[in-house]
Structure 1
Amino acid sequence: MTDTHAPDILCIGSVLWDVIGRSASHMAKGADVPGRIIRLPGGVALNIAMTLVRFGLRPALLSALGRDAEGEELAAECARMGLDVAHLYRSDDLPTDRYMAVEGANGLIAAIADAHSLEAAGAKILAPLMGGALGSAEAPYPGPVALDGNLTEGLLETIARDPAFRAADLRIAPASPGKAERLLPFLRAGRGTLYVNLEEAGILCQTRFGTASEAAAALLERGAARALVTDGGNATSDATPQGVLTQTPPEVLVTRVTGAGDTFMAAHIASELSGADRDAALGRALRAAAAYVSGDTPS
Structure 2
Amino acid sequence: MSARPDILCIGSVLWDVIGRSDLPMVAGNDKPGRITRLPGGVALNIAMTLRRFDLTPALISVVGDDPEGRDLMSACGRMGLMTQHMLVDADLPTDRYMAIEAQGALIAALADAHSLEAAGARILAPLGDGRLGTPEAPWTGPVAIDGNLTEAVLAEIAVNPVFAAADLRLAPASPGKAERLRPLIGHLRATLYVNLEEAALLTGQSPRDARTAAQALIDAGAHRALVTEGGAAAACADADGCRVCTPPAIDARRITGAGDTFMAAHIAAELRGIGRADALQQAVLAAAAYVAGDDDD
What range is the shorter-chain TM-score in?
over 0.9
Contact persistence 1:99–1:111 (CA under 8 A) = yes
Residue 248 of structure 1 corresponds to 246
Contact persistence 2:210–2:227 (CA under 8 A) = yes
Alpha-carbon offset, residue 191 of structure 1: 4.1
Matched ranges for 1:72-151 at <5 A = 72-105=70-103, 107-151=105-149
Residue 233 of structure 1 corresponds to 231
Contact persistence 1:122–1:151 (CA under 8 A) = yes
Deviation digits for residues 22-65 of structure 1 (CA, Å, limit 9, x no counterpart):
00111111011000000000000000000000000000000001
Distance 1:21 1:141, change over 3 A: same
Q: Structure 2 CA distance, aligned partners of 1:287 and 1:277? A: 15
Amino acid paired to 2:45: N
Match for 1:24 among 9, 12, 22?
22
Matched, 1:68 2:66: yes
Q: What is the TM-score normalised by the length of structure 1?
A: 0.97
Q: Which runs of 5+ in 2 are unaligned?
A: none
Deviation digits for residues 190-213 of structure 1 (CA, Å, limit 9, x no counterpart):
440000000000000112111100
Q: Structure 2 CA distance, aligned partners of 1:167 and 1:106? A: 39
Deviation digits for residues 252-285 of structure 1 (CA, Å, limit 9, x no counterpart):
1100000000000000000000000001100111
Alpha-carbon offset, residue 162 of structure 1: 1.0
Alpha-carbon offset, residue 136 of structure 1: 1.4
Amino acid paired to 1:290: A
Q: CA RMSD in A?
A: 1.1
Alpha-carbon offset, residue 188 of structure 1: 4.0
Alpha-carbon offset, residue 128 of structure 1: 0.3
Contact persistence 2:186–2:223 (CA under 8 A) = no
Residue 222 of structure 2 corresponds to 224
Match for 1:165 among 163, 166, 172?
163
Which stretch has the larger CA shift, 125-134 or 7-16?
A: 125-134
Identical aligned residues as a percent: 62
- Give 3-state SS (helix, strand or coil) of 1:234's partner: coil
- Give 3-state SS (helix, strand or coil) of 1:96's partner: coil
Q: Structure 2 CA distance, aligned partners of 1:285 and 1:167? A: 25
Residue 55 of structure 1 corresponds to 53
- Give 3-state SS (helix, strand or coil) of 2:233's partner: strand
- Give 3-state SS (helix, strand or coil) of 2:135's partner: coil
Q: Structure 1 CA distance, aligned partners of 2:124 and 2:159? A: 14
Distance 1:259 1:4, change over 3 A: closer
Alpha-carbon offset, residue 232 of structure 1: 0.3
Q: Structure 1 CA distance, aligned partners of 2:27 and 2:70? A: 36
Q: Structure 2 CA distance, aligned partners of 1:140 and 1:156? A: 17
Residue 210 of structure 2 corresponds to 212
Residue 287 of structure 2 corresponds to 289
Contact persistence 1:191–1:224 (CA under 8 A) = no
Which stretch has the larger CA shift, 172-181 or 153-162?
A: 153-162
Q: Which runs of 5+ in 1 are unaligned?
A: none
Matched, 1:34 2:39: no
Deviation digits for residues 165-199 of structure 1 (CA, Å, limit 9, x no counterpart):
01000000000000000010112444400000000
Deviation digits for residues 214-242 of structure 1 (CA, Å, limit 9, x no counterpart):
00000011111100000000111000101
Amino acid paired to 2:79: M
Which stretch has the larger CA shift, 204-213 or 265-274?
A: 204-213
Match for 1:276 among 271, 274, 277?
274
Deviation digits for residues 123-152 of structure 1 (CA, Å, limit 9, x no counterpart):
110000022300111111000001100000
Amino acid paired to 2:57: P
